[in-house]
Chains A and B, each alone.
Chain A
Amino acid sequence: MPAKEGKPSRDMPATKTTPPAKTGAARSKSVRVSSLLSEDVISIVSPPPEKGALIESMVKLLCGKKGLGDPAPFLAKVFEREKKISTTLDTGLSLPHNPRTERAPGAPAGLDPPSLLTNIFAALTVIPDGMTDPMEKDIPISVMFLFLSPDRGEFFPMHLQFLRSVASLFQPSLIGALAKAPTPAAVLELIRKAEK
């Protein structure tokens, strides 16, 4: 009677189960977070404001500094996203952003401002005293990294990898250091060092 083959050893080359065809573009290179930031889009606020007000001020700052035009449509999208599921992580990082619009596969992108973006635009606020998140009341927000990314299907993989990169970068040790940084320039320098 045929014997069952022995179990494969751990040294076998890792082969994954073949995934189906991916939606959107192929995996893109990750974006360096520090390259998206400049001192004029970094702030340090104390005492802690209300979350909604902070988001509004950051969107307006970003649209103003980067020439994105009327902040209203971006603001509406970011607040829409905030209602769906929390963008706060237990490290104290909050990641508000504009959501992906659900479209049928192959449907053309919209003509609204988020769909017309061609790159990611980001702003950062450090809240040394911590800010309450209405959705995650037990996690004080110490850093809010707000970004706007192109709302087009082919950018979604990059959007996801950007989310992962930012979350991975802002670990408790960096957040702790940022809370003590005296100026936006110091904040930017810390982030650059962490990314290296």
Chain B
Amino acid sequence: MVGKPSRRVAEVVVLSTAMLTFISFWRAAAIVLCDMASTAWYIGGIAEQAIGKGAPWFILGVMAFSACILALETESAAIFVRGGVYKVVREAMGRNLAKVSVSALMFDFTLTGAISSVAAGQYLAGLLNHAFPHLHIGWRLNPDAFSVFFAVAAVLYFWRQNIIGIEESSDKSLKIMRLVAVMGLVVFGWSLVTIWFKGFSLPPFSVSFDPHSLGWLAGTDWPRKIGAVGLLVAFGHAFLGLSGVETLVQVYREMEAPKHGNLKKACLVIFLTCFLLTAGMCFLAVGIIPDAERAKYLDNLIAGLAMHQVGPHWARLGLQAFVVGVGSLILCGAVNTAIVGSNGVLNRMAEDGVMPEWFRYLHPRYGTTHRMINMVALLQIGAVIASRGNLYLLGEAYAFGLIWSLVFNAASITALRFRRLGPREWRLPFNVRIGGTELPVGLGFILAVLLAVACVNLLTKRTATVAGIAFTVGFYALFWAAERFNRGKARGEHREKVNLRNEETVEQVLKHLDKPNRVLVAVRDPHGLHHLAKALETLDEETTELVVLYCRIHYGMSFGGDVESLGPEEEHLFTRVIEVAERSGKTVVPLMVVSNDPFYAIAQSAQAVGAGEVVLGTSGRLSLENQLERLAMTWGAMQKADQGAVTVRVVQKGGAEMVADL
């Protein structure tokens, strides 16, 4: 009697997730710049209203300082692939301060959406008011009222996009930044021609405060008597140029290998763009637009720059339309980034049990965390309406959340230098060794500057301080209450959402693979993925696909039928697989098969996908030799006549390997 084959794979599921799509440093930089570079459209006017004509110098100083902040985020990424303010502060300084820092960050995100959408509205209103006479339309829009209307519409649009779950695309960000680059070149080039004909006056290196810009320091003599205080006050008013840096941390996990190398390149691109574009636009605006005229354009400064170039009126109007069009794209993009960022941060808080469970409920149709998105959108709309379109007010309030989340981040990274010893992929330079202790002088300087600016801002920006503290306290109370309520309840760890696609046979997986070489890595234990990490280390991503195989063991009558969902342990396993892939920045193809013998599953799947290499981890039950023997037997049993040789590697936890050719 001949035995019937009964160990072959019964079901095949290919898993996919957007988390396994890795992006180049150009795309990563574009995503960050869609937030950070958008400040170029409003920072000049806001800073000039606060500190006078010398504002561009302080904006230049802040843009130069952005290099320090980017370096700080680079070190943060060297510690945590999936970082962010909450994780970093929690690790370094505990959960309470982490909640405070995130509360401040939420204020930052709320006002990012509000200021970006209001600024876009101001630019549009300015353009329409210039265009109407030419179109023989006798209207004149109230810029503030129009910007509120436009801002609410923009927030509602992106609220809807996020509820439906339309993913933010790096393609879109790249296209926007290409347009910004073109716009920048056109404006700079045209400005050079204008300067040639009309001359250029460099802004004076001076500050001119009014009582409003001094806040509670008005009436004191400190800014004049203590020059450093004055400089800090001025610096603080230009600080909103650093908005968007938190996005870098969130986008780091998506960067392709080599991760840290690409992060540094992205930081360089971000720094150069912001330094040249943001500071450059402000200098040109002050240097080209006459003072009396410039006062009319403080809420849409780049549009004013366009209208004061040399050339016929229609050409200048065309340039203004171009500037406004690009500005609207990037500013509205920043609104979306703020909603996505807030949702991401709140989801992370929820995973930690620091958000009320009610907020985690998914939309019945779209599967998104709609209640969190609703809250964020409502807060942004509330901020827009409360501001009544006053860009200056929004700008002043904005800096509170930004500066304090940066302070917490910098303090945490500094603390981790002492708490988490050991090598790091990169650390901020200027460290002095005294005895056996390394003092982070560079980090300390950055922290000192941030803390000084934050403290000065508390005194000079009344609205920001009052609103910011109230908002922070409110959110902290929400987090605190949720944490107490959730204490003792089982808290789910973070689980990646993956899509499942059932295939008829293992061979059909081939259509998901398009590189000539394949490696198959078998996984089972979420805490034993050292062999996957090793395989990713040596993977040549240009020529080789890496298939990660998990075999769900099933026996008897329950064997068969489509796989509709993953079990909790399987979710945990694939979440860990994605984390390992993210850390390396290389993509993998996760595959699950259902079988009653894992070695058959490995052999059959590897042969079906044409793997030239199979990588196994160690088993708690079998020796390396037994594993290789069983695989050799099953490989032979399944082998077709034209099957090529395969290399099998069994990788141990310490890195040692046993390799054999079959």
Contacts and interface: CB of A to CB of B under 8 A. Distances in A.
Given A85-B630, A163-B636, A167-B634, A176 B2 contact: yes
B621 to A, nearest CB: 8
B166 interface: no
B659 A140 contact: no
Contacts of A171: 637
Given A12-B516, A23-B659, A160-B632, A17 B2 contact: no
Nearest to B543: A8
Interface string A122-162: 00000011100000001111100000000000001101110
Interface of A: 1-2, 4-5, 7-12, 14-23, 27, 84-87, 89-93, 95, 99-100, 102, 128-130, 138-142, 156-157, 159-161, 163-169, 171-172, 175-176, 179
Contact of A17 (B174, B516, B544): B544
Given A14-B612, A140-B3, 11 more contacts: A1-B174, A10-B514, A16-B612, A90-B4, A90-B637, A95-B633, A156-B660, A160-B632, A160-B662, A167-B632, A167-B634
A100 B626 CA distance: 8
B633 A164 contact: yes
Given A102-B623, A142-B1, A164-B639, A1 B6 contact: no
B634 A84 contact: no
A15 B539 CA distance: 11
A91 B2 CA distance: 7
Interface string B484-516: 000000000000000000000000000000111
Contacts of A175: 2-3
Interface in B327-341: none
Contacts of A167: 632-637, 639
A129 B1 contact: yes
Contacts, number: 148
A8 B626 contact: no
Interface string B582-616: 00000000000000010010000000000011000
A12 B3 contact: no
Contacts of B636: 163-169
Contact of A91 (B3, B514, B630): B3
B3 A141 contact: yes
B661 A157 contact: yes
Contacts of A16: 517, 612-613, 647
Contacts of B657: 20
Query: Top 3 nearest A-B pairs by Cβ distance?
Result: A167-B636, A92-B3, A168-B636
Contacts of B419: none
A163 B647 contact: no
A160 B628 contact: yes
| A interface majority secondary structure | loop
A92 B626 CA distance: 20
A7 B637 contact: no
Contact of A142 (B3, B517, B639): B3
A160 B629 contact: yes
Contact of B662 (A87, A164, A179): A164
Nearest to B519: A17
Select the residue from A100, A142, A176 with max chain B CB neighbours within 10 A.
Answer: A100
A90 B5 contact: yes
Nearest to B269: A1
Contacts of B481: none
B538 A23 contact: no
A164 B612 CA distance: 16
Contacts of B625: 99-100, 102, 156
Contacts of A91: 2-3, 5, 637
B538 A18 contact: yes
Interface string B617-631: 000001101101110
B107 interface: no
A172 B5 CA distance: 8
Interface in B59-88: none
B26 A89 contact: no
A139 B660 contact: no
Nearest to B635: A164
Interface of B: 1-8, 24, 26, 174, 178, 514-517, 519, 535, 538-540, 542-544, 597, 600, 612-613, 622-623, 625-626, 628-630, 632-637, 639, 647, 649, 657-662
Contacts of A5: 542
B170 to A, nearest CB: 12
A8 B3 contact: no
Contacts of B3: 90-92, 130, 139-142, 172, 175
A17 B546 CA distance: 11
19 contacts: A1-B178, A17-B539, A19-B649, A20-B657, A23-B659, A89-B637, A91-B2, A95-B633, A130-B1, A130-B2, A142-B2, A157-B660, A157-B661, A164-B633, A165-B636, A167-B632, A167-B635, A171-B637, A172-B2
A12 B660 contact: no
A159 B660 CA distance: 10
Contacts of A9: 516
A164 B632 CA distance: 5
B146 to A, nearest CB: 35
A70 to B, nearest CB: 24
Contacts of A95: 633
Contacts of B639: 164, 167-168
A19 B613 contact: yes
Nearest to A178: B2
Given A90-B600, A129-B1, A165-B636, A17 B540 contact: yes
Contacts of A14: 516-517, 612
A116 B403 CA distance: 75
A23 B178 CA distance: 53
Contacts of B8: 90
Given A84-B622, A90-B637, A139-B3, A19 B659 contact: yes
A43 to B, nearest CB: 17
A85 B5 CA distance: 18
Contacts of B535: 17
A157 B471 CA distance: 68
A168 B6 contact: no
Contacts of A87: 633
B408 to A, nearest CB: 34
Nearest to A8: B543
Select the residue from B3, B649, B659 with max chain A CB neighbours within 10 A.
Answer: B3
Contacts of B613: 16-17, 19
A99 B535 CA distance: 28
Contacts of B659: 19-23
Given A16-B517, A157-B661, A85 B649 contact: no
Select the residue from B517, B597, B622 with max chain A CB neighbours within 10 A.
Answer: B517
Contacts of A89: 7, 633-634, 637
A22 B662 CA distance: 13
Contacts of A99: 625-626
Contacts of B24: 4
Contact of B660 (A93, A141, A160): A160
A11 B535 CA distance: 24
A179 B661 contact: no
B7 A90 contact: yes
Contact of B26 (A1, A15, A86, A140): A1
B555 to A, nearest CB: 9
Nearest to B514: A7
